[in-house]
Amino acid sequence: MSSLRLERFRAILVGTKIPENIGSFARLLENFAVKEAALVSPQCEWREGVSQWMATGTSRERLNELPVHDHLTDAIQDCNFVVGFTARAGKNRRTSIKLEELAQKLPGKVALVFGREDFCLLAPEIDQCTHLCALDTSTDFPALNLSHSVAVVLSQIFNQENQSRRGHSKLVTTSEMEPMIEHLRTMMIEVGLNQEGNPERMLVRLRKIFQRAELKKQDLSLLRGLYSRVISEVKGLKRS
């Protein structure tokens, strides 16, 4: 029997509407020894009733201790990567990582984000994900129950981690990256990238590029040094 615990993964449910799914979620956390988990804005009563029945033994204790956040931002702020699971494709929902590669390709702290039973993840939540992943199912009946999706993902990651116990380098968290993004925004405005519109749309895409780049703290220092030099040079040209 493996004593492996999924120490670096945080499983997160967003806007869950069916209490049975939260009860099953708590049970799966114990099945696959997931150290960290959270709920974001649950839309049902899960502290009593059927959700308690779905969770048994130590998983019931886990259920009652689940942290609850109002916004996804609060649940992922110390994570290096945020993987959103989605069944819907589209311009802003292109998958960027395969489940069978997830544990090997993403070092550091990884948030595993599961959306609502009906609408999955909303656009603002998708924007906060560094990667999107879809589960392979039959095209004749593709929809998976939320708790079943969680089970598939955690089982796969548990196996991947059990097969590879290699160390992972220390990467910056999403909250540590934000000051660099703000510095980049300042530079963009200083060089005039705001003249043809708000730079926010470009920053959303740049943020995702930086998140996928697996930046370390020295990388942030290098980038911020570059931004400072550009800002200084542009201000000098404006004064001359």
Q: How confident is the model at residue 73 (pLDDT cuts 50, 70, 90)?
A: very high
Radius of gyration of the chain (CA): 20
Q: Which of 226, 225, 223, 227 is nearest to 215 (CA)?
A: 223
Q: What is the DSSP letter of 40?
A: E
* Residue 56 CB contacts under 8 Å (≥ 6 apart), including other chains: 27
Q: What is the CATH code for 6-163?
A: 3.40.1280.10
Note the pLDDT tens digit of each residue in 148-164: 999 999 999 999 888 75
Write the pLDDT tens digit of every residue in 181-215. 999 999 998 888 875 656 788 888 898 899 888 88
Residue 96: phi, psi to the nearest 5? -125, 0
pLDDT at residue 122 is higher than 80: yes
The yes or no reply on domain 174-239 and CATH 1.10.8 is yes
Q: Could you tell me the residue ranges of all domains in the chain?
A: 6-163, 174-239
Q: Is the pLDDT of residue 239 over 90?
A: no
- CA–CA separation, 113 and 125 (whole Å): 9
